[in-house]
Amino acid sequence: MRIAVIYKSNYGTTKQYATWIAAELNAELIERTSIKPRELADYDMVVYGGGLYASGILGVDLVTENPCKRLIIFTVGLADPNTTDYSKILDKNLPGELRSSVKVFHLRGGIDYATIGIVHRGMMAMMRKMTIGNKSPEQLSDEEQAFVDTYGKKVDFTDRQAIKPLIDFAKNQAI
């Protein structure tokens, strides 16, 4: 079975997960801008990974606008996947028929505020302001408090073990 792991990463954590996934699946690792839509048909399975930015999945239009034989999607963001509701993000990024037929996995990435671009820095500052608002520290949820605690710092939540459910699912689909 010919498998492609395609990714779009701004700061490296999505690329790291894609590299691990490609190694586990003996798949081709391809950066999003290095593949043409018509080439997707050359693969029996496509695993697509994109970072989460302002409720968008980076570069996901490649696989939402072009059919794949078998498709798995993974997202990478700062929030803890175990406590985050991704339904609005998926509704916004995946057409209805695709939303119900594609398995999506969510992985936790990282950030280094010293290296992010001015646009993303501004977005994070606005998000911090919206998160805190007029709330006292006691009123913040665990997720909001984690965001406040890590704001402006370098944090890395990547975990190779987190890809195991995706790997197991992909191997089961390959049968």
3-109+157-173 placed in CATH 3.30.300.30: no
Report domain extents, the chain.
3-109+157-173, 112-154
**Three-state DSSP class for 135?**
coil
SS3 104: strand
Contact 17, 58 (CB under 8 A): no
pTM of the model: 0.86
Query: Which pLDDT tens digits describe the chain residue by residue (175 residues)?
Result: 999 999 999 889 999 999 999 999 999 999 999 999 999 999 999 999 999 987 789 999 999 999 899 999 999 998 889 988 899 999 999 988 888 889 999 999 998 878 888 887 888 788 788 777 778 878 877 777 777 787 888 889 999 999 999 999 999 997 6
CA angle 80/83/87 to nearest 5° reads 100
DSSP β-bridge partners for residue 76: 51, 107
Opening angle at CA 106, ends 37 and 142, nearest 5: 145
